[in-house]
Amino acid sequence: MYLSQRYLPGVKRQTGLCLCFLLSCFPAGQPADVGAKQTHKSERRQELQEPSLYTIKAVFILDNDGHRLLAKYYDDTFPSMKEQMAFEKNVFNKTSRTDSEIAFFGGMTIVYKSSIDLFLYVVGSSYENELMLMSVLTCLFESLNHVLRKNVEKRWLLENMDGAFLVLDEIVDGGVILESDPQQVIQKVNFRADDSGLTEHSVAQVLQSAKEQIKWSLLK
């Protein structure tokens, strides 16, 4: 009893101080809060990376000076023309002098290809599959190569812009990839021409024939 009365209070005081110190380092409820935050971040990350059919943000074609020739945006990431043009300029400055085919810019994944005096771009989100974006780019290039009769350059693109938009609309609609096989795209584009009573002509040939007819009618 003597020992317990004389020494145990001191031990109790020291033990109490240790407990207070430990509690001050690990406040009540902190592990639960940290776990909740980590769970929230994990759920948020999964939500952001959840697969979606709307994989394409934009497709555009620029000339070798970075000027827009053709462009379609499929969401409101760049709602105004001014923002779109600024984005295209920045992308061109980043990619026009490199040999790579993939770039990451502004939280987005961009695949691109050059042809003579043209630069073709397909834009997706930062977590989009590069191979999927590249399949769209390849399909666009091969389809244009057919429509423009193997002349994928600025002059022929400008002369056949309607055909180029038809091709793009068959590949992507509202950000959703419809087709990645260039042969299927060409068949669908020609089918549209067939529905208009224009058989055995590609879109480029139809447009060229129409221009020649207008030229001759003006000369008469």
> For the segment 168-205, what is each residue's pLDDT rounded down to a tens digit?
999 999 999 999 999 999 999 988 766 655 444 555 55
Among 177, 104, 175, 176, residue whose Cα is nearest residue 138: 177
Centroid of chain to Cα 156: 26
DSSP bridge partners of 108: 105, 125
pLDDT digits (tens, 9 = 90+) for 33-85: 545 445 544 544 544 556 678 899 999 999 999 999 999 999 999 999 999 99
Yes or no: say if 141 and 152 are a contact pair by the CB < 8 Å rule. Answer: yes
Helix (H, G, I), strand (E, B) or coil at 29: coil
Q: What is the pLDDT of residues 118-146, one digit of tens each?
A: 999 999 999 999 999 999 999 999 999 99
Q: Which residue from 56, 180, 68 is spatially nearest to 110, judged by alpha carbons?
A: 56
Q: Which pTM does this prediction carry? A: 0.68
Residue 102 and residue 56: Cα distance in Å, rounded?
15
Walk me through the domains of the chain, giving residue ranges and CATH numbers.
Answer: 58-216 (3.30.450.60)
